[in-house]
């Protein structure tokens, strides 16, 4: 077996298992011992590695959305975002509004910045924080999509219930 092929999630024992190749996440297909030749195992390992790398490439979009909602999960950060959208302010001006240290406010701003909800711009000695409306619109669009999904589900349930009422009479 070539050492250049990365190790895949195979388990030696009464059966060899490879996860995610034929079924969904968290499930595995089990193949009896001797069914797969060593060369086929090498090929499957290479395919698994390529598939894994492809999935890793697709993750940043999910990570960006996760970062947005994790940043919005904190009340202080939501308040900082509102203040930054209403008016550009320095980090020190923002810090005056809160009963916490400058460093704590700076950390909150950094979380918002990593999520691209705010941006910072240096003006002289100060860092000016401004809101990023386009990122907030992306989060709103995602929530609108879920809202429409749940509205449609409620309509479907109402239709089913209306049909059952007609069957009873």
Number of domains in the chain: 3
118, with CB counted inside 10 A (0-12, 13-18, 19+), is: buried
Q: Is residue 151 part of a domain?
A: yes
Q: Give the full edge-to-edge strand order of the sheet including 126-131.
A: 89-90, 126-131, 118-123
- Determine, yes or no, domain membership for 79: yes
Tell me, rounded to whole angstroms, the distance of Cα 55 from its chain centroid: 13
**Confidence at residue 1, expressed as pLDDT on a 0 to 100 scale:** 45
Q: In the chain, how long is the greatest CA-to-CA distance? A: 78
Same domain assignment for residues 164 and 154: yes
Same domain for 118 and 144? no
67 inside domain: no
Q: What is the 3-state secondary structure (H, E, C) of the chain?
A: CCCCCCCCCCCCCCEEEEECCCCCCCCEEEEECCCCCHHHHHHHHHHHHHHHHHHHHHHHHHHHHHHHHHHHCCHHHHHHHHHHHHCCEEHHHHHCCCCCCHHHHHHHHHHHHHCCCEEEEEECCEEEEEECHHHHHHHHHHHHHHHHHHHHHHHHHHHHHHHHHHHHC
- Tell how strand 15-19 and strand 118-123 pair up: unpaired
Which CATH number belongs to the domain containing residue 122 in this structure? 1.10.10.10
Based on the domain organization, do 117 and 138 belong to the same domain? no
Dihedral angle at the C-alpha atoms of 29, 33, 36, 39, nearest 10 degrees? 120
On whether the CB atoms of residues 72 and 112 are closer than 8 A, the answer is no
In a domain, 161, yes or no: yes
Shared domain check, 140 and 127 = no
> Do both 37 and 86 map to the same domain?
no
What pLDDT is attached to residue 163?
A: 84
- What six digits make up the tokens of 119? 């941006």
The residue range of the domain holding 38 is 15-59
For residue 65, the model assigns a pLDDT of 87
**Run means of pLDDT, 10 residues per run, the chain, 169 residues:** 43 40 42 54 52 44 83 94 94 94 94 95 92 90 92 93 71
**23 domain residue, yes or no:** yes
* pLDDT in the model for residue 80: 96
Same domain, 81 and 114: yes
Let me know if residue 7 belongs to a domain: no
Q: Residue 36: inside a domain, yes or no?
A: yes
| 35 and 21 fall within a common domain | yes
125 and 143 co-located in one domain: no
Residue 72 near residue 85 (C-beta atoms within 8 A): no
């Amino acid at each position: 077996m070539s050492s250049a092929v990365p190790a895949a999630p195979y388990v030696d024992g009464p059966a060899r298992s490879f996860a995610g190749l034929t079924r969904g996440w968290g499930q595995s297909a089990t193949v009896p011992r001797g069914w797969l030749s060593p060369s086929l195992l090498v090929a499957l390992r290479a395919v698994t590695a390529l598939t894994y790398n492809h999935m890793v490439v697709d993750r940043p979009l999910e990570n960006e959305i996760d970062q947005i909602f994790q940043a919005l999960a904190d009340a202080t950060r939501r308040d900082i975002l509102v203040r930054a959208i209403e008016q550009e302010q320095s980090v020190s001006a923002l810090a005056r509004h809160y009963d916490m240290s400058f460093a704590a406010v700076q950390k909150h701003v950094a979380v918002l910045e990593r999520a691209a909800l705010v941006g910072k711009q240096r003006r002289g000695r100060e860092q000016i924080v401004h809101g990023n409306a386009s990122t907030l619109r992306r989060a709103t669009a995602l929530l609108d999509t879920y809202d429409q999904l749940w509205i449609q589900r409620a309509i479907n349930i109402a239709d089913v219930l209306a049909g059952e009422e007609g069957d009873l009479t």
